[in-house]
A and B are shown apart, each in its own frame.
Chain A
Amino acid sequence: MLVTGIKSKPVYAPLQADARGRYHLMLGFGVGAGPLERVIAEMQSSASQGLRNVRVLYVPDLGSAPEGERFRALSDVQAFADTPALLVQFRLILEQSLMGTRLYVAGPESFIGLAMKIALEFNLNKDEIRAEECGTLARRVYCIHCRATTEQVRTNIVRCVGCDRWLLVRDHYSRRLAAYMGVMVDAEAPGELPPLKEVFL
């Protein structure tokens, strides 16, 4: 149960423009503006025509106000009040999108996970999606016992919002659920909890 270094934990990399794409759809949350700005600059300075069709959806986050404001001011950036609103528009865009589209996502892992869930429905696969994790590492945790999802988890163990059990936050990740698995941490010795630590900051 305490195994680390699990291969199902998603791996992210700094965003780079994919010159093989024809249409570029970008999603950002908060400090995700940084990587997206960088990629847009890379595309605009490139000679490749294919890098011209860019569309950006963005959720400014109060904590990252300065760069968020500057980013919003760029043309072609559509801003949203929150993630759910962005995801609604994202789905509408995908319904009209064509093969040759590339998706770029920058923000906290939970934001990336929710965007990927929708991308999965349209058969976009890892060759068409690039994601850079930035901002908080806080996790969405799926309780395997009562199946409730606890949001914004920063600690190694967490009380499940559904069944109140203390859950160990594992590194085993489901793209379908966009969440990490939470398993009762004291099933073998009730009451014996490991020290609470903030690890996903």
Chain B
Amino acid sequence: MNAALFKPDETFRGDFSFRNSPQAIRRFPLPFPEDNYMYSVNIEPHLPGPAGSVTEFAFDVDEHYVAECREREIVLAEEPLRYQALPHMMSSQWDCLELIMESLARDYPAHFSLTKQGNRWRWINRPLELDQQFIFGDPASLPREPLDYITRQAQGDFVVMDQREGDLWAEAGMVTTQADWSLDFDVGMTFKEWHGPVPLAHEMQVFDRALKFLLNLRLGQPVRRLNWTMTIHPRLDTSPENYPKWGRDRAMVTPQNAGDLVHLRVELQGLWRLPRSNAIVFGIRCYLISLRELATVPKWARRVHRVLRDLHPALIDYKGLTRYREAAVAWLEPFDDGAPTSPGTAPE
């Protein structure tokens, strides 16, 4: 990941200058291995993927890194409550800081470095021009709380869940790039409570099985899965808090402009067991791609057309697609000649 490829001035609001380079398009994590979609517990080990792919490293840093960090700062300046940490979660905060710093320094040595002398650490983040010395375990030695500090230098949202009483409790997090859920409202909830609003999945016992699996998640054996929805404009902050600002975008989509306005929004979710706190950190990395960019890959154009066209009504409603799904399907329709698509998500 060459530093020259960062596009620091990209925006995810206002003029929405965000665009994917051809490389970014080809490595996009399409969440549809076949021509229709339904929920599953699609968890797999978070092992290193192919070179250049979004799963090659523990935490993916791409061309949008600097721009996304700037966007996060803007959100937090307006709404500090997008970051929360209940008092008993401090040891998990240090666990997360260690996990993210060690991963980034190991996987992107050109951009990040971490040196340690006992508990005296030095962290250098070249893209953001940061050089920080601090004492691991001493919150006063950092300009912000550990989780706050490090997640401002990582792409995607993070939720930390304490494990007790046979359940998982969302009790700390940095959530600024979410697909319509509120950390402020959900903090303190259990696994099934915060997944409450998701339709159908409960009846399918998706969450019972997922919870049981996660309760036994082991140190050193992280897992990952993909989730998806759609967004109008490449807007990262589609929070319920700001729904009054972005809600109306959904009504502005036409079959003519859908290609540029409608974006597929994919979450690469990673789950790690944390060592000192025995908690679990849930990383939610967000990738955006416009239908027009997607359609440059013929197989993907056909597939996404079919998935959207045939999607279960409850999912259409829950994923917020109601107002513009038909316009999106109409825009994609000319790209779908009915030819079969190969299984799997590789671009063709």
Direct contact of A and B (CB under 8 A): yes
- B241:A145 contact, CB within 8 angstroms: yes
- B244:A165 contact, CB within 8 angstroms: yes
Interface residues on B, range: 20 to 34
A174 within 8 A of B: yes
Task: Assess A174 versus B189: contact at CB under 8 Å? Given A2-B317, A145-B243, A184-B243.
Answer: yes
Q: Determine chain A's interface SS by DSSP, over half rule.
A: loop
Write the chain A residue with the least CB distance to B250.
A188
- B165:A125 contact, CB within 8 angstroms: yes
Among B194, B243, B250, B317, which residue has its beta carbon within 8 angstroms of that of A183? B243
* 0/1 string, B101-123, CB within 8 A of A gives 1: 00000000000000000000000
* 0/1 string, B234-263, CB within 8 A of A gives 1: 000000111110111011000000000000
B45 within 8 A of A: no
Stretch of B21-29, B70-78, B180-188, B267-275 at the chain-chain interface: B180-188
- A181:B185 contact, CB within 8 angstroms: yes
- B248:A187 contact, CB within 8 angstroms: yes
B323 within 8 A of A: yes
A88 within 8 A of B: no
B192 within 8 A of A: yes
- A145:B317 contact, CB within 8 angstroms: no
* 0/1 string, A140-166, CB within 8 A of B gives 1: 001011010000000000000000010
Stretch of A5-13, A26-34, A48-56, A131-139 at the chain-chain interface: A5-13
- Please report the C-alpha to C-alpha distance between residue A3 and residue B201 in the assembled complex, in whole angstroms: 13
Q: In the complex, what's the smallest C-beta–C-beta distance from B254 to chain A, in angstroms?
A: 15
CB pairs A–B below 8 angstroms (14 shown): A3-B197, A6-B197, A8-B192, A145-B244, A147-B81, A172-B185, A174-B188, A175-B188, A181-B182, A183-B240, A184-B243, A187-B244, A187-B248, A188-B247
Given contacts A7-B193, A177-B185, A188-B247, 11 further A-B contacts (CB under 8 A): A3-B199, A8-B193, A145-B242, A172-B185, A174-B188, A174-B189, A184-B247, A187-B247, A187-B248, A188-B251, A190-B248
